[in-house]
Amino acid sequence: MNESKAMILGAAGTRLTADEIAFYRDERPWGFILFARNVAEPAQLCDLVASMRDSVGRADAPVFIDQEGGRVQRLRPPMAPDYPNAAELGAIYARDREAGLRAAWLMSRLHAMDLARYGITADCLPVLDAPVAGAHDVIGNRAYAKDPEVVIELGRAASDGLMAGGVLPVMKHMPGHGRAFADSHKALPEVSATLDELRAHDFVPFKALRDLPMAMTAHIVYRAIDPDRPATTSPTVIGKIIRGEIGFDGLLMSDDVSMHALSGDFASRAEAILAAGCDLVLHCHGIMPEMQAVAEKAPELSGKSLERARRALSLLAPRDDMEETVARAEFARCFEAVA
């Protein structure tokens, strides 16, 4: 059987069209990603996830979602409860370290319960960005704290909670989005910090959690490393910093190739992302001509990229036996205790 291609793709709506099914079957994306536009009700979402996997003939094809809590949460009531943002977990940690760590673990464990019932197997969490004063609020309260050491502890707890529930974590946005003074969905942020400043702050959480199976890049120019290209398309940032200095040897995906921080057409964007050293191109919007352009440039997964993809999926373990009602009650008490 042919291997999957080095891409993760979205879909346009709540059900796959005949064109989407044929396209996925022929082009074989390694995985899929869901957004709010794909979600209507429980049976529909289960059917959509199953049909995505059916289209590529792989029961283990990973299905991703951004389910952080706060403003970045694709599943909403009644599909899943509204959850607090990461900064609220950080506030608990600031008052009581153990309570904060438990709250972060429990929230991720509950995310895993919510996602697993629909067949979703990967969550783009934890956010390991550590903001600096004055940075754009595109990260803002999505970050656990400004202190990288706190981010490490809460990020590890969140990752462990997902894994305990049989869901894979994806840390983001490597090597650090906390200094961005623009929203990379709309423009290309540039960071002027020195390499020593980045090493002392931004890189620290990613280095500490470099054993996690998957990570997502930042669409940010780090002038001290590569003044011409954002991390996502920079062989220098990926090779010397992410793979070298940070020491991450897991599966590296781009942030969304559709974001306005990147320039050029979709074929050239995809080509630049893969040439820089990313293992996978992420395309989120489900727009067919754009996906076709990405697929044209995405090769079959092979070599180290294939090894990393297989290793990530091998870490999907059976979930623990935690009772949902017990977990939800304990999570609520975490917030009562510090109210």
Tens-place pLDDT, residues 47-79 = 999 999 999 999 999 999 999 999 999 999 999
Burial of 26 (C-beta count, 10 Å sphere; 0-12/13-18/19+): exposed
Q: How confident is the model at residue 180 (pLDDT cuts 50, 70, 90)?
A: confident
Q: Would you state the structure tokens that stand for residue 219, as one six-digit string?
A: 């669409």
Q: Would you state the structure tokens that stand for residue 164, as one six-digit string?
A: 């305990």
Tens-place pLDDT, residues 121-178 = 999 999 999 998 776 677 889 999 999 999 999 999 999 999 999 999 999 999 998 8
Burial of 128 (C-beta count, 10 Å sphere; 0-12/13-18/19+): buried
Instruction: Supply the pTM of this predicted model.
Output: 0.96
Tens-place pLDDT, residues 276-306 = 999 999 999 999 999 999 999 999 999 999 9
Which residues partner with 216 through β-bridges? 253
Per-residue pLDDT for 183 more than 70? no
Q: How confident is the model at residue 262 (pLDDT cuts 50, 70, 90)?
A: confident
Catalytic center residues: 185, 255
User: How high is the mean pLDDT of the chain?
Assistant: 94
**Token match 């290309």: residue?**
188
Q: How confident is the model at residue 182 (pLDDT cuts 50, 70, 90)?
A: low
Domain count across the chain: 1
CATH number of the domain to which 28 belongs: 3.20.20.300
Report which residue type is found at 16.
L
Residue 134 CA, chain-centre distance (Å), reads 24
Per-residue pLDDT for 2 more than 70? no
Q: Is the peptide bond before 29 cis (omega within 30 degrees of 0)?
A: no
Residues contacting 62, CB < 8 A, separation 6+:
8, 30, 31, 32, 121, 122, 168, 312, 313
Share of the chain above pLDDT 90, in %: 88
Tens-place pLDDT, residues 227-236 = 999 999 999 9
Cα–Cα distance measured from residue 57 to residue 47, given in angstroms and rounded to the nearest whole number: 15
Domain span at 36: 5-336
Q: How confident is the model at residue 200 (pLDDT cuts 50, 70, 90)?
A: very high
The larger pLDDT score, comparing residue 139 to residue 211, is at 211
- Residue 251: enclosing H or E segment and its boundaries? strand 251-256
In this prediction, residue 189 carries a pLDDT of 84
